[in-house]
Chain A
Amino acid sequence: MIIKVNNLVKRYDDLIALDHFNLEVKEGEIFGLLGPNGSGKTTAINCILSLLKYDKGTIEVYGRPMAPDAYDIKRNIGIIMQNVAVFDELTVYENIDYFCGMYIKDKKKRRELVEEAIEFVELDSFRKFLPKKLSGGLLRRLNIACGIAHKPKLIILDEPTVAVDPQSRRKILEGIRKLNDDGATIVYTSHYMEEVEEICTRIAIMDKGKVIALGTKDELKGMINSGEKITVEILEHNPDILEGVRSLPNIVSAEFNDNMLVAKSRRGKNNLSALLEYLRSSQINVGRIYSEPPTLNDVFLEITGKELRDHA
């Protein structure tokens, strides 16, 4: 077990940021911590890193209690914070070298590592640039390079893609997968469920300082009652059709949305064919047809009764 958090409680005055938070991260996985803004993801990370005081609970990293002076543990951790943490006065190269130098003493080795990191985030043509001159996406990449240059075995990324353009975001996600392929264990927090779904092997969904669901994405989706969402293009808006669809055995709800019929089904097999069977028997002309499996948002919605998505 790489990280083991047991009953962690953290209070800010009246606010309980972490409420008996439990977490286990295994070696070699890409562990996703998913939750809306303010659910306690960053607080949890900062407690694990021993940056924050906490009120109760235990934290173990690599089987030993984590502490601010647990230097041999820290040596193996790389962190990428939510906010860009680089020095404005240092160039791209110097920033990476500065942070890398806090882990690696040997100069020659360090130079190689810094070069590798620059190559990894594709900032080669910007190595002499000051952070001020970099665009948001490039800055994020520099931020990542500063965290991973020393080749840590455990990499913690806290919302590394906030406010990043799609192209940079893709690069970042690919990079994370590559780091994992090279053997690093990854802890990844985000409030973008698509990202988490895409790269994480195991996911913990957080809300109000607690883990409310845990498992692989399929396991998570299996936990809930909702099945696929079926969308059918229908030209005639006849309320009778809705009635008919709703009366089908495994269908939960049905609505018209513009000229689309949206039906949600329970978990189970043959939902789509049953629906199509009904439409055909009712002699209704059908256009395009989509069927979508449930998303993590559906999982979150069903457990908490609210949307996961960023409404901002």
Chain B
Amino acid sequence: MFLHIYMYRLKCILRDKQNVFWTLMFPIILATLFYLAFSNLSNAESFTEIEVGIVDNEELREHPEFTEAVKSVPDLFNVTYTTKENAEKLLEDGEIEGYIHFDDGLKLFVKESGINETIIKSFLDDFLQTSSTISTIISQNPAAVQNGLPDSVFDRTDYLKAVPSGKAEPNTVVNYFYSLIAMACLYGSFSGLKEVLAMQGNLSYQGARVNMAPIHKAKIIIASMSAAVSFQLIAVTALLVYLIAVLRVDFGNQVGYIALTSIVSTITGVTFGTFISSVNRQSEGVKIGILIGSSMIMTFLSGMMYDKMKYIVHTKVPVLSYLNPANLITDSFYALYYFDTHARFFTNIALLCGYSVLFGTLTYLAVRRQRYASI
């Protein structure tokens, strides 16, 4: 009996083209777009040599130590020595970020205020400051010159020890994909809605007929919800496989935990849909509107449109981040990817399980109602 209902409900869900498009195809399309749009984003943040022009004039040649200093940082700059006029033109065309001109002192010409310009400036500051250091030392301890002071100028020690921030690089882009998965899981609510409509006598004629069958309502609910969860799992798995195998999004290496997250999240999504559609008697269109609207808000708050949103909510209104299933799903993947411990991951999973049970119970209580007030 269970299998009979389950198989037919699954068939119904699979044949609903619109539902299949939005829950299966749309997340994959969106993932592709994210991938195309964000693939270069982390490169944009990473450092590449800064294009700098240096005006080659008399005054520059009077300061060989400056040229030395420039040479000592080959990884920082890509230097072009040129005339003042050409440097101006290069700057205007965006070929260089700024040019250095010795003209009655060290001067930097830039087009805008940005991090690369700041780095050039800080290099010039560095040069001036080092000169100041040397002259202070010489004035205080003239013997230092003989003791190799000039040589030690460019002999720099790295006093910094890098500590990894987490298990993996803090690559913000992955969060977009994680919240996309959250969206896909929440779209399970559409199948949930469909199932409630199909079994509720006061919501559809088919439901009335189903109600006349000599079967306990709980059996129908469980079979229908299992069908919805199964389909949604197929959709989420397809998305995950696509993300991992085709788009090569990094999930950390924990297949078991990822599977657990997907299953729990899917159940949360489906029960959310059954909950919303069973507790009110609005039309199907209104219910779909509620589902789309709420999943959009929830995924927005978990960072799907603007990654930092998740952090802002987490620090400013922490309660909200625990109330938002989309955030819990996103955060579970994030925790698996980034954190070395599983404490936060399990908190998320526990909360998601809690919401599934809550939504499921509320659905049952609403659907179980045996006779309807009106049909």
Measured as residues with beta carbon below 8 angstroms from the partner, the interface class of chain A is 35 or more
Interface membership of chain B positions 184-211, coded 1 if the CB is closer than 8 angstroms to chain A and 0 otherwise: 0000000000000010010011101111
Residues of chain A lying within 8 A (CB to CB) of residue B209 = 79, 81, 85, 99, 146-147
Residues of chain B lying within 8 A (CB to CB) of residue A84 = 205
Check if B213 sits within 8 Å of A99, measured CB to CB: yes
Check if A69 sits within 8 Å of B206, measured CB to CB: no
Check: B371 CB closer than 8 A to any chain A CB: yes
A53 to B4, CA, bound (A): 30
Q: Is chain A's binding surface mostly helix, strand, loop or mixed?
A: loop
Knowing A102-B1, A102-B5, say if A79 contacts B212 (CB, 8 Å).
yes
Check if A77 sits within 8 Å of B212, measured CB to CB: yes
Please name the residue on chain B nearest to A49 by beta carbon: B212
Q: How far is the CB of B354 from chain A (nearest CB, A)?
A: 30
Check if B374 sits within 8 Å of A102, measured CB to CB: no
Residues of chain B lying within 8 A (CB to CB) of residue A105 = 1
Check if A94 sits within 8 Å of B11, measured CB to CB: yes
Residues of chain A lying within 8 A (CB to CB) of residue B201 = 51
Check: A89 CB closer than 8 A to any chain B CB: yes
A160 to B270, CA, bound (A): 36
Which of B206, B210, B215, B216 gathers the greatest number of chain A CB atoms within 10 Å?
Answer: B206
A90 to B11, CA, bound (A): 8
Knowing A74-B212, A87-B198, A102-B5, say if A51 contacts B373 (CB, 8 Å).
no
Check if B216 sits within 8 Å of A89, measured CB to CB: no
Interface membership of chain B positions 250-292, coded 1 if the CB is closer than 8 angstroms to chain A and 0 otherwise: 0000000000000000000000000000000000000000000
Check: B47 CB closer than 8 A to any chain A CB: no
Measured as residues with beta carbon below 8 angstroms from the partner, the interface class of chain B is 20 to 34
CB within 8 Å: A-B pair count: 85
Please name the residue on chain A nearest to B3 by beta carbon: A101
Q: How far is the CB of B18 from chain A (nearest CB, A)?
A: 11
Partner of B371, one of A52, A94, A99: A52
Check if B372 sits within 8 Å of A85, measured CB to CB: no
Check if A90 sits within 8 Å of B12, measured CB to CB: yes
A81 to B207, CA, bound (A): 11
Q: How far is the CB of B215 from chain A (nearest CB, A)?
A: 6
Check: A83 CB closer than 8 A to any chain B CB: yes
B residues with a Cβ closer than 8 A to A are 1, 4-5, 8, 11-13, 15-16, 198, 201, 204-206, 208-216, 370-375
Known interface pairs A89-B16, A102-B210; 19 further A-B residue pairs with C-beta atoms within 8 A, sorted by A's residue number: A12-B374, A52-B373, A52-B375, A68-B370, A72-B214, A74-B212, A74-B213, A77-B212, A85-B205, A87-B198, A87-B206, A89-B11, A89-B13, A90-B12, A94-B11, A98-B8, A101-B4, A101-B5, A103-B214
